[in-house]
Amino acid sequence: MKMTNTKIALLVGLGLLAPLVIYPVFLMKVLCFALFACAFNLLLGFTGLLSFGHAAFLGTGGYVTGYLMINTGLTPELGILCGTLAAGVVGAVYGKLAVKREGIYFAMVTLALAQLLFFVYLQAPFTGGEDGLQGVPRGFLFGLIDLTDNTYLYYVVYAIFLFGFWLVYRTVHSPFGQILKAIRENEPRAISLGYNVSQYKWVAFVISAALAGLAGSTKTLVFQLASLNDVHWHLSGEVVLMTLLGGMGTIAGPLVGAGVVVTIQNYLSGGELGNYVSIIMGVIFIICVLLFRNGIVGELQRLIKRNFS
């Protein structure tokens, strides 16, 4: 599916007008998770690596941003930058260790490392343990724009999301992205063509981790809170669900998946079915895996292909 300029302009415009109709904080939550899922999709969908510890990067970004903004009075853009860098550094270390293994072992290594970090954040005094970092100031963007206003903040978050989305899009559609796809499709062949596969995997891992950190930093700014839930393995599982549901290996899939999952969680948690959120999510996951394995966007693309070309 080729994106034409009109289509892109239309979608971007839709995002600009959205806060007039929908509650901005909810939209920001969707955008943060969409960015997180996009980052994850770069690894799972385009490189074929299932990381089961991506929450560690989201959480690291969140904690670093939160801590710096509370204690040093950094401006939000610098806080987010530091959070993203920190997640990138953690990603670089974890990636180095994890790419040595493949398949289920890769997933287990990432999960183990993420649990390690979870325990550190649980015990380290600077994270506030179970309480998390509370009351993170939103501050003034570039020292000028007051982000306590939800509408202003929405546009900042939207810009960050577009940047992340564009970065993933560019990565996937670059020669580098082609090699990643080659690794996904047939790793031994990529090796035989002379590519240093683990180096490519590692770079993809670091980009993905940094983007997840960017999502976490932004989320901290939105909710003024960094908590243990951001590093919990539940969240690592949730991002897998978002990506699979939306359509793994499609550009727009994670965005759709994150939108669906966050919407379900938000609307169910307030109602009668509040206690059944995890069961409903589980059923959706099973249905998705059994009936439409390409995810929402993947199936739509197939339908369009079948009917119009």
> Which residues would be at the binding site for other proteins (CB under 8 A)?
17, 20-21, 23, 25-26, 29, 122, 128-132, 134-135, 148, 150, 223-225, 227, 229-230, 269-270, 274-275
In the complex, the smallest distance separating the C-beta of residue 135 from other proteins, rounded to whole angstroms, is 4
Nearer to other proteins, 134 or 196 (CB): 134
Residue 212 and residue 57 in contact, taking contact as beta carbons nearer than 8 Å: yes
Nearer to other proteins, 26 or 292 (CB): 26
CA distances in angstroms from 33 to 187, 191, 219, 236, listed in the order given: 30, 34, 8, 11
134, β-bridge pairs:
225
Tokens of 8: 């892109």
Helix spans in 48-125 (H): 55-71, 76-98, 103-123
In the complex, the smallest distance separating the C-beta of residue 282 from other proteins, rounded to whole angstroms, is 16
Nearer to other proteins, 196 or 269 (CB): 269
Nearer to other proteins, 150 or 301 (CB): 150
In the complex, the smallest distance separating the C-beta of residue 27 from other proteins, rounded to whole angstroms, is 12
In the complex, the smallest distance separating the C-beta of residue 3 from other proteins, rounded to whole angstroms, is 21
Q: What whole-number distance in Å separates Cα of residue 277 and Cα of residue 254?
A: 20
Nearer to other proteins, 148 or 174 (CB): 148
In the complex, the smallest distance separating the C-beta of residue 229 from other proteins, rounded to whole angstroms, is 5
Residue 154 and residue 19 in contact, taking contact as beta carbons nearer than 8 Å: yes
CA-CA-CA-CA torsion sign (168, 170, 175, 181)? positive
